[in-house]
Structure 1
Amino acid sequence: MRWAIFAILYILLTVYGFQAIKRVTKKTWIYYVFFGMAILIAGNLVFQFASGDAGRVLTPGKSYAFGFVLAFMAFNLVLLPFLVGEDIIRGSFGLYKKGLKKDKSFYMPSRRKFVSQVALGLAAIPFSSLLYGMYQGKYNFRVLRYVLHFEDLPEAFDGYKITQISDVHSGSFDDKEKIEYAINLINEQKSDVLMFTGDMVNNKASEMRPWKETFGRLKAKDGKFSVLGNHDYGDYVDWESAEAKQKNLEELIGIQKEIGFDLLLNESRYLEKEGQRLALVGVENWGKGGFKKAGDLEKATSQIQPDDFKILLTHDPSHWEAEVLKDPKHFHLTLSGHTHGMQFGIEIPGWVKWSPAKWRYKHWAGIYKEMGQYINVNRGFGYLGYPGRVGIWPEITVIELKKGTKSA
């Protein structure tokens, strides 16, 4: 049923897009090119999703097929309100003049060509942006830096630097050189500790095998710590048995160990410096809206003290709002990911911060503070679904902890 609705929508948008092109040019070869693209893009989508892996597994081929469909439909969708609106205005005005005023001599010169030209120009913006996001934007890595102040931060950790990455989604990668550049960029930050907040793969541990050596070069003098994300459990694959699914998870856990990550499965660790310490807490995935709720704060904090300075790693930021904020143990800083910032949006620091992700997640990208506690929602290292990024670039976060109150 969903595919039938999608097919009808695709055809209607294509027909309307053709009407706009037809008003602008009379060159038939352009018509053939337009319809040829429409058929090729739709045919590739059908081919990719009619074959391949079981379950909701998104291979690079499927992702690119989806990306090209998204770009083509966005192009036609922008045309729709212009052409429909112009039809309604012309039709209503003509009916009024001819019907109510009995003006049989009414004639309104068509502005359809001009409107079509404007609409095509505007439609080219999302179309080209989505193609750029697939070609270049997905590897347009940015280092975002924050300085956070805490009055109760142990003095030995004043100036302590944390690098956070999240949502690697290694099964989507298709450019080893770009990933190696990003790994070098992470190491160049020379942070004290590295924290990874989940989703190392799209679906299967095998996706990470070709990247073990590359990610194994990540460095941090006080260690590398990680938690699992919703995609790491293999829940979106139709496994032949429960044993096969468990074996996949065990392999992924083993890979993380080989890379050098200390994976926290509802556990805690202490970071020590000059006789003082920070409590590092890591929970399994906990998310609202149908996502796995394996995270257990009680279990994870069973070995730490109430007055410890606490940093929490939890993949899904909905956990922060639902459980973490109101927990009496007071988690000073929470690090999350998961949203990817929807891989699409507009961000101009100090001016605009928007993405469709805000309609689903209250905390979807960057630093937030509530009840004296901070969360950073990392925009993600990799990508999933749409094989690109537009406006919401892949992120490497560097957070510096400072003791005291921020000066004015």
Structure 2
Amino acid sequence: MILRFVILCALFLFIEFYSYQAFRTLIKLRWVLISYQIISVLLLVFIIYSFTQFDRSVGQTKQFMFTTGLMLLVYVPKIVLTLVMFGEDIFRIGASILNYFMYNAPRKEMMPDRRKFVSQIALGLAAVPFLSLIYGIFEGKYNFKVFRQTIFFPDLPDEFDGFKITQISDVHSGSFDNPEKINYAIDLINEQEADMILFTGDIVNTHAKEMHPWLETFNRIKNYRYGKFAVLGNHDYGEYVTWPSAREKDENFEEIKKLYGKIGFDLLLNENRYIQKEKDKIALVGVENWGVNFKKAGDLNKASENLHQDDFKVLMSHDPSHWEYEIKKHPKNFHLTLAGHTHGMQFGIEIPGYFKWSLAQYIYKQWAGLYEEAGRYVYVNRGFGFHAYPGRVGIMPEITVIELKKGKNVA
């Protein structure tokens, strides 16, 4: 623990030292530089103090999210500054060695001075994440987008050709702070022409009471001809706080399960339903959370009891790692899996149809959008809400509309 603290302090000092170099090269007014140092120290002290006040019996609060946002806002740009300025120092040291061995330069001329234009470039680059993070906090987190996806299946029952599913995921109602924006998102959901709506988990951050102010709002989601169904996400189990007793944790969990019913969703707990349309049917399967690094309550075999291999199946499983490790090669043959969980890390770059990048891709093989292997598909929703960082940059909150079509996919 002490070693970890020492390393963390050294890292912060390293970042502060190099980010300060960029300002010192460009700004010569002493009072401005002193003010910068004082503000930097005060911000660091505030961030450290706020995190030390985190109460595991309460969990994430608005104060915690504010502090997380502030830390990213302060230190992501400073990390950019550090990388550029440290890179310049490597160049300067290389030049110094070259001057010494090849040109016999006088000692005072061996180390080149810092170049003003490098500091200007560093500050320009640092401004990009700084402005992006501000945008993410004030606008991005409620910049809801509708993603439409058509998927072809050769064995889709005829009556389900053109069947549309709306998916939402990762609501995290405890993070909301703008009723007008959430009502707008519900209107956007209701505007989509679909036959069914599926909710793939994480209705709260931790506590059932987080959803209470939003029950009326989410009850505005219209009824669908073929139903409203949901599964649990990892946050729905109350695993990330310290509870006074096991009984209180269990009571909270039972209340969270009831929340889904209170907003009109049929919660599937390792079980399945047949969806009948005229003469044909498909199987809808819902598992509890199963994640490589998170709670493994999902039981795929139990959830698919009484289903046949040749049944067309749509599976809801919150964590996409479940698809990678269990679902895609399961003998019951799950055609389409709908997941969420990753949020795309709420930070990345995405140009739909051309390019997408996020740190999430280094953690999850499937992290946003549609993936296919051997004719089996998983779609990972980018999430409706937000958690920890109170914003979204590049990876916007998502409402998904998936259309099932009969036929072969055109590559």
Secondary structure of the residue that 1:316 maps to in structure 2?
coil
Match of 1:163 among 152, 161, 166: 166
Structure 2 match to 1:352: 355
Deviation at 1:4, TM superposition (A): 4.5
Q: Does 1:66 align with 2:64?
A: no
Compared CA separation, residues 302 and 98, structure 1 to 2 (3 A): closer
Determine which of 20, 23, 27 is the counterpart of 1:21.
23
Range moving further from structure 2, 53-62 or 100-109: 100-109
What is the distance in 2 between the residues matched to 1:142 and 1:324? 28
Distance 2:161 2:375 in 1: 18
Kindly state the Cα deviation for residue 109 of structure 1 after the two structures are TM-superposed.
Answer: 6.2
Instruction: Report the CA distance between 1:29 and its aligned residue.
Output: 4.4
**Map 1:6-405 → 2, pairs under 5 A:** 6-55=8-57, 57-104=59-106, 107=109, 110-219=113-222, 220-289=224-293, 291-405=294-408
Give the letter aligned to residue 403 of structure 1. K
Question: Does structure 1 conserve the Cα–Cα contact (< 8 Å) formed by 2:166 and 2:402?
Answer: yes
Deviation string for 1:119-147 (max 9, x for gaps)? 11111111111121111111111100011
The aligned amino acid for 1:252 is I
Give the partner amino acid of 2:29.
K
Residues 28-65 of structure 1: CA distance to partner in whole angstroms, max 9, x if unpaired?
Answer: 44324433442343233234323353258221211120
Instruction: Call closer, same or farther: CA 1:99–1:152 in 2, change over 3 Å.
Output: closer
Distance change (3 Å), C-alpha of 1:333 and 1:111: same
SS in 1 for 2:206: coil
CA distance in 2, matches of 1:90, 1:20: 15
Percent of matched pairs sharing the same residue: 55
Q: Which amino acid aligns with 2:99?
A: K
- Any stretches of 5+ residues in structure 2 without a counterpart? none
SS class of match (2:331): coil
Root mean square deviation of aligned Cα: 1.9
User: Structure 1 counterpart of 2:245, which letter?
Assistant: S
Contact 1:341 1:392 in 2 (8 A): yes
Q: Distance in 2 between matches of 1:39 and 1:387?
A: 23
Contact (CA 8 Å) 1:281, 1:311: kept in 2 or not? yes
Per-residue deviation at 1:286?
Answer: 0.5
**What secondary structure is seen at the aligned counterpart in 1 of 2:266?**
strand
SS of 2:117's equivalent in the other structure is: helix
Q: Which moved more, 1:367-376 or 1:53-62?
A: 53-62
Query: Does the aligned pair in 1 maintain the 2:168–2:200 contact within 8 Å?
Result: yes
Task: Say if 1:189 and 1:32 are closer, same or farther in 2 by CA, change over 3 A.
Answer: farther
- CA separation in 2, counterparts of 1:267 and 1:125? 47
Distance 2:183 2:38 in 1: 38
- Tell me which moved more, 63-72 or 88-97: 88-97
Q: Secondary structure at the match of 1:143?
A: strand
The one-letter code of the counterpart of 1:190 is E
Q: Which amino acid is the alignment partner of residue 46 of structure 2?
A: N
C-alpha distance in structure 2 between counterparts of 1:60 and 1:3, whole Å: 26
Q: 1:138 to 1:29 in 2, by over 3 A?
A: farther
TM-score, normalised on structure 2? 0.94
**What is the alpha-carbon distance in structure 2 between the residues aligned to residue 129 and residue 30 of structure 1?**
25
Shift of 1:385: 1.6
Which 4+ stretches in 1 moved above 6 angstroms? Answer: none
Task: Using the TM superposition, name which of 96-105 and 314-323 deviates more.
Answer: 96-105
Alpha-carbon distance change, 18 to 226 in structure 1, aligned in 2, over 3 angstroms? same
**C-alpha contact (below 8 Å) 2:96/2:112 kept by paired residues:** no
Give the TM-score normalised by structure 1. Answer: 0.94
Distance 2:142 2:39 in 1: 26
Amino acid at match of 2:328: L
Which runs of 5 or more residues in structure 1 are unaligned?
Answer: none
Q: Per the alignment, in what secondary structure is the counterpart of residue 135 of structure 2? A: helix
